[in-house]
Structure 1
Amino acid sequence: MMQAIRDSAKGWIGWVIVVIIIVPFALWGVHEYAQRQATVAVATVNGAEITERELQNAYLQQRQRLQAMLGEHFRPELIDEQQLRRETLEQMIERRVLMEALRDARFRTADAQIAAQIRGFDVFWENGAFSPERYRQFLASQRLTPEQFEEQLRGDVLLEQFYAGVAATAFSTPHEFQTFMRLQEQQRDIGYAVVPVERFRDQVQVTDDEVEAHYQANQRRYVTQERVRLAYLELSIDDVARGVEVSEEAVRAFYEERAEQFGGEERRAARHILLLSGDEPGQALEQAEGLRERILAGEDFAELAREYSQDPGSAQAGGDLGSFARGDMVPGFERAAFALDEGEVSEPVETEFGVHLIQVTAIERPRAPSYEELRDELRAELQRRRAEMRFRDVGERLANLTYEQPDTLDEAAEQLGLTVQETDWITRDGGDAGIAQDRRVVQAAFSDDVLAQGYNSEPIEVEPQRVVVVRVAEHEPAAALPLDDVRERIVEALRSQKAREEARALAQGMLERAQAGEDPAEVAAAEGLGWERAEGVTRHEAGVPAGVVRRAFTLPRPTEGEPSVAMTHADNGDPVVLGVYRVQDGDVADAEQRADVQDALASEHGNRLFRAVVESLKAQAEIRRHAQEDDR
């Protein structure tokens, strides 16, 4: 959670901890069926249930986290919804197992630590200060109470601490480091010849009988794609916002409600005299009372601070602490300082540091912007809030109406003032424009409920605060294509297949001759092919085909005078005969960033160790996963 807010996820934490501070998402389907489904257990961990509602919420949050991380590069159609749902459930199961183990081990997190974490989230700040009102409002938009959020945050902190504690025990040995560097920085001298498949395309022949036989044996490959045209209703926050009006009176009232926040953060400058309590706090209190009386009688606070204060950081400066805001000091000190007028001296104040006398030397209250300065901003904010509330309300009505009248969109369109729209033809691979590019829409369109039963879909979020409900307007099943329509495709496929077989046969023959002792360069030349040499090739070599590099580093060291030879394929599928002439291990003495490599090895061991702990705990737990509708 907090890693996503701070964008600093590490290792397993990045996928174990479920993000909740992203974009508000309205949950629809409030009808009775959905309510029953929400309480169905999708898994149990030691008897404790994980419900459908919990899984759905976590899934949406994971999806929103992906969207926030990828930004403009996020493409919904590339997400495998069922796979993401299954992964989310596994993460929830692991979290339950870990949290139970931590509770049994009596792991705890201090309230002060949780409070500090919350105050560290910029999303809860307003006008330069932490805003309790914004905190509550933001959580409410996520359908969370402060108690729920703080409990989840407490779990996140415990999990981080547990992971750090386990991972910190891992280390790498010098021998392991040296072995790693020898292999990682290893260089190889290689040679290779590419056998182009295209060389044989014009040499092979395809007969009509071969085409006919291929067509009969592979008829399933030569069919029209099943396709549908969809009718749909679309609801977006932008559509709703256009109908939201905000009066001048409402904007002014909004300003008055928040006037105190607009003034910025009040700050105070103060000095203090600190007396350490030691074993006799009463003595420090008595001394503080005496010093206060002397100050009230006219003695200079700063001079007494220089003489008596036991705070080494401020005593010589006359006790000056500079300027501070609420939350910068310990609670007792803060309460006293912000209750004083300028120049006033406090009663003795006890904190964990000792006994303080405090004098406020200045109070800074920034000027609040006028109503006129903030009017447009406040109007937009108020309009946005009202639009979000209306969007949720209309979204729930859309879900209910399209569920209650499952065989039409017309009634919902009429009651909500929406327009029934239609897509072009869509196959199971999706379409070229609009909602047809969204994988979730395609999955819904070809689902049993929508395609076979003819029902409306559930609301589908295609973007944050933009949903659609779809139904099938027209359906064309898959049908076999006549042979004449696909003859050219089959000829090309068979020609390519035969060319690949010829190229591979030639490469295999070249390999066998090289293995028999012939010079592979001379073998290649005899076949009219070039033999490319590359020296000092590394594992990340850019100038050699990647498949060749990978295969080269799997071959054994060459014997004296004879290269190790093998066959592989280039990235485009062309066969390649290659040989390794020399292997030079990495020089440990010359390896840069030695500490970084050792840290990386230790981190890898730490991750493995932690995964082993997790798997051990899961093996000891009683975990039951129940079949989910999406997986059937």
Structure 2
Amino acid sequence: MLSTMRENTKIIMLILAVAFVGWLVFDVGMGGTGRGELQTQDVGSVNGKPIRYQTWLDTYRAAYEEARQQNPGATLTREDQRAIEDEAFERLVQAELLQEEYRRRRIVVTDREIADAVRRFPPPEVQSAPDFQTEGQFDPQKYERFLASANTQTREFLIAMEQRWREELPRYKLLQEVSADVYVPDAKLWQIWRDAHDSVTVRALVIRPALVVADASIRVTDEDLQRYYDGHRDDFRRAARAVLSFIAVIKLPTPLDSAMIVERARQLRDSIVRGADFAAVARIESADSASRAQGGSLGTFGRGQMTPPFELAAFRLPVGQVSEPVITTFGAHLIKVERRTADSVTARHILLAWGRIGARRDTLEAQADSLDRLAAEQTDPAALDSAARKLGSDVQHGPPLSQGQPYVLGRYRIPDVGVWAFEARPSETSPVIETSGAFYVFRLDSLSPAGVPPLAEVRDRARAAV
């Protein structure tokens, strides 16, 4: 089942996107009743002024689209989505606070100021656009001619720039007002300079009581602990915590898998050398979702931007030739350099990612399907133990998870768990969660609310502090 879903990821994501839009329109937009109830509800307020749900939703959609464009091909986790929700709310709060301050200080922006800003301060993305450059440098005259032209493209640009500067200019004026009265006396400047340039030599004797005096020689009574705990309760305050167990079906390739992937890369190279189009092969074979649709194009990159083995090969490979397989932690790469200078390379690549192949991949997919069928989204806590026995695996105990923090196992950051664990009930199991290293199902063993835990749970910390 899981393997079929992965093979049809594009179709499934399209269906989910349509369903999501439909939910927003019919359920969220109309409150499930067709009356648009949620559109009139408030999600918060700033100094008594309400923030409407619909306003927040529009801001969230814009922030979500920005995140998607910044990470093309990446799947946003539930933690990512929660962070975007919070960011959308923070944007609205900040915008309202700024508006209040503009009104208080009577900061206004005129149309003339906006027109002058558009003409004198083109944004960086405009200055770097090829249409406005001459010999690799921004050409102000080309920009002026563009602004003077009367066409649809110019009008759309000016509308976008007007909106941008209506937001930015008041902030600039506010910054000028706030910083205008800032005065740093000479003594403070001298101190800053001395802190940056003076040096001293210090000899220190460090005495660590924990090493000099044995704990056993110090008598700490229960009354001492209780008194310290009562007087320092805030020091022990913590976020909500979840304790989790899990089963993992490991995806890492065997040495035979890795050898077969490298051999497959050599076969693809031979076909390209014999005349196959590199870009066409990349669109079919490459595992790099960010560049695959562009025929493997990586654009232009400089030194230090790629993993070392890839960079070394790209800066040494003759222009126009296809490399032998280049091995990195991501997999086996075929590289074709299209242009190179002393400090930059324009290239394409085909990535064959590390993973199980052939019969071993089929076995892995079958194990993942069994994990989904036997353990995922269960309410019986024994389901995880039963699934582990049938899969010949062990139930492992993960580190405690604090709310708001990512969940990390070894070198892998596990997506979605940080949200799921605080929505689930104890004993429930998660859906199958996939990372580059494994398939996981988690069980929520216990959930502790945020606040100050009882003394019994922090007794060792209290004793160490006393």
Which TM-score applies when normalising by structure 1?
0.28
Which TM-score applies when normalising by structure 2?
0.36
Structure having greater relative contact order (Cα 8 Å, sep ≥ 6): 1
Point out the structure with max Rg over C-alpha.
Answer: 1
